[in-house]
Structure 1
Amino acid sequence: MNIQKIKARAGQIQNLNRAQYMRILLMLVLLELIPNLFDIGEDILSRLLYLIISIAFIAVAHGYVISSLKMVRNQSQMLADDDAFVGFKRFKELFSTYLLTNIVTIVLGMVAMFILTVFLGIIIGSTAGLPSEAVLLNDYTQIVSYLTNLPVSILATFMLFYLLLIVIVFVISSYMFAVPYLLERYHMTNLNAIKESFRLMKGHILDFIKLNLSFLGWMVLIILVQSFIGGFLAFLPVLGSLIAAIIAGVISVYTYMPRYQLSRAIFFEELAYYRYEQNQSYDGDEQHV
């Protein structure tokens, strides 16, 4: 798959009804920040409220999918502000698939973390005297105290393992990249969508990683900007972080995000074309056009 051609096409498409598309992206960025307003306490009630709000907003990201697909499929004239709120309007339809996707990602990530942590605990524990139960129970205070006294070689091993964990989690999420697009385009839901996404992405994970890495510079820059603004406004604990996130989100919309979201949609459309349309191998529900 030619990533450069995908990005070039995305660059051309983003000029179609650009103002409306960017307005939708901006609304989505702001909507995704709302649950963070409720992440203000560590007591049970605060955590429960945050969990409920997060679940209510779990399908908000579907707005990126539906608006980007309209752009890619020459339907930019059909874009509307309502596309940003599709996660709420179609909550009943979208909820179970988004919830299951998140659960599967978390579970697989936790399994990977457990395996790597146990292996890492054996290495560090035997070398640096770190009790294995501290690793197994994720006692990070105790782990950090040991890390400060580790030899460089062991510290490098620690960093390598956790870098490997990040890679594994990203690969897992990459295999499920197509789930919301399959849901929108082919009515696939829940476990059926997850299984099909794994099959669809098989052999294309490296291409997907290349696509994401091509935007890494912008992503890192936005993170640095947000961190800088958040640090500058540190005297406003909650409000400062919110302002930093809003500014970073607005900058991302006016820089790389339109092209990034369109590139993801084009990536899916190319995979779907070769699997379902050219080969006519899909035999599920009626397709969206």
Structure 2
Amino acid sequence: MNIRKIKERANQLLSVDKQQYIRILMILVLLELIPTLFTTGHDILSRIIYIIISLAFIAVSHGYVVSSLKMVRNQSSLLSDDDALVGFKRFKGLFSTYLLNNIVLFFITFAAMFILMMIFGAFLSGIQLDSFANEISLSGNYTQVLLSIFSQSPSLLAAFILFYMLMIVIVFVISSYLFAVPYLLERYQMTNLMAIKESYRFMKGHIFDYIKLNLSFLGWILGLMIIQMGLNRLLMFLPILGALISAIITGIIGVYTYLPRYQLSKAIFFEELAYYRYDHHQTYGGDENHV
């Protein structure tokens, strides 16, 4: 698959009808920040509230899918602010699939992490993992955790970083196999386990292409992460408000730089695979020997 042409196609679409699409993305970025406002408390009640809010917002990202597919399918005239709210408006029909998708991702990731922990057990045996894990969950102070590990042994720090990097790779690969789930849900009304199984078959043989597509935007993503970290340090005197302000600023920068092209590129990527798997063969979901 030609990633460069996919991105060129995304640029062409943005040159035709950009303003309403960007408006929708801006609403979505702001909506996705709302659950983070409930992550400050560490008592049981606060965690329960956070879980409830997260479940209520679990399908918010479907707005990216709906609006991007409209753009790709030359239906930009049908774009409206309601596309950003589709995760709420169609919550009943979307919830079970998004929930199951997240559960599958969680358990597969947990299993992979357990296996990696077993492999790295010999290197990590000298670290009080329980206390470090508790510190991370309560304070998110990764810097202090890394310094504590480094003070015990630089080799253990190297093992910890390697473990962390492997986890990122594993989570990304697993999520790549699930990439098509929301698009299959929207385009072909596949739901729940059917959508997950079909997404696996759909992406089989195309994971590397999908990784290349995401890596082509890595510079933007890392750049915004660095900006957000810098803003967090500048606004650290405002613990909650400062983090929210930095997230809003970086979100706005993302919407006006790479995010529209990134979301459109993913939709084009899906549409190209869907054409060869379904439309080109005049069938849908029945023949697993398609591309």
- TM-score (normalizing by structure 2): 0.90
Residue 183 of structure 1: CA displacement?
A: 0.1
2:238 pairs with 1:236: yes
Residue in structure 1 matched with residue 272 of structure 2 by the alignment: 270
For residues 30 and 185 of structure 2, the distance between their equivalents in structure 1, rounded to whole angstroms, comes to 24
**Contact 2:149-2:157 at 8 Å conserved across structures:** no
Aligned AA (1:87): G
For residues 281 and 150 of structure 1, the distance between their equivalents in structure 2, rounded to whole angstroms, comes to 58
Residue 156 of structure 1: CA displacement?
A: 2.8
Residue in structure 2 matched with residue 36 of structure 1 by the alignment: 36
**Contact 2:70-2:76 at 8 Å conserved across structures:** yes
Residue 264 of structure 1: CA displacement?
A: 0.2
Aligned AA (1:149): Q
**Contact 1:182-1:188 at 8 Å conserved across structures:** yes
**Contact 1:25-1:64 at 8 Å conserved across structures:** yes
**What secondary structure sits across from 1:15 in the alignment?**
helix
For residues 74 and 148 of structure 1, the distance between their equivalents in structure 2, rounded to whole angstroms, comes to 57
Q: Which 4+ stretches in 1 moved above 3 angstroms?
A: 137-147
For residues 228 and 162 of structure 1, the distance between their equivalents in structure 2, rounded to whole angstroms, comes to 22
Match for 1:174 among 163, 173, 176? Answer: 176
**What secondary structure sits across from 1:14 in the alignment?**
helix
Match for 2:153 among 144, 147, 150? Answer: 150
Change (3 A) 1:49 1:216: same
- Deviation digits for residues 209-252 of structure 1 (CA, Å, limit 9, x no counterpart): 00000000001111111111111111111000000000000000
Aligned AA (1:174): S
Aligned AA (1:240): G
Unaligned stretches of 5+ residues in structure 1: 285-289
- Deviation digits for residues 164-215 of structure 1 (CA, Å, limit 9, x no counterpart): 1110010000000000000000000001000000000001001100000000
Residue in structure 1 matched with residue 219 of structure 2 by the alignment: 217
2:12 pairs with 1:6: no
For residues 253 and 141 of structure 1, the distance between their equivalents in structure 2, rounded to whole angstroms, comes to 35
**Contact 1:230-1:240 at 8 Å conserved across structures:** yes
The RMSD of aligned alpha carbons is 1.7
Residue 122 of structure 1: CA displacement?
A: 2.3
**Contact 1:38-1:46 at 8 Å conserved across structures:** yes
**Contact 2:7-2:265 at 8 Å conserved across structures:** yes
- Deviation digits for residues 252-286 of structure 1 (CA, Å, limit 9, x no counterpart): 000000000000000000010000011234157xx
Residue 149 of structure 1: CA displacement?
A: 2.4
For residues 167 and 103 of structure 2, the distance between their equivalents in structure 1, rounded to whole angstroms, comes to 17
Match for 2:249 among 244, 247, 263? Answer: 247
Kindly tell me the number of residue pairs found equivalent between the two proteins. 276
Residue 124 of structure 1: CA displacement?
A: 3.7
2:100 pairs with 1:97: no
**Contact 1:61-1:87 at 8 Å conserved across structures:** yes
Aligned AA (2:51): L
For residues 48 and 164 of structure 1, the distance between their equivalents in structure 2, rounded to whole angstroms, comes to 30
2:18 pairs with 1:15: no
For residues 210 and 49 of structure 1, the distance between their equivalents in structure 2, rounded to whole angstroms, comes to 38
Change (3 A) 1:141 1:46: closer
**What secondary structure sits across from 1:58 in the alignment?**
coil
Residue 104 of structure 1: CA displacement?
A: 0.7
Residue 117 of structure 1: CA displacement?
A: 1.0
Percent identity between matched residues is: 63
Aligned AA (1:216): L
Residue 100 of structure 1: CA displacement?
A: 0.5
Unaligned stretches of 5+ residues in structure 2: 136-144, 287-291
Residue 147 of structure 1: CA displacement?
A: 4.3
For residues 190 and 141 of structure 1, the distance between their equivalents in structure 2, rounded to whole angstroms, comes to 33
**Contact 1:20-1:79 at 8 Å conserved across structures:** yes
Aligned AA (2:273): L
**Aligned residue runs from structure 1 range 127-206, under 5 A:** 130=126, 134-135=128-129, 137=130, 139-140=132-133, 145-152=148-155, 154-206=156-208
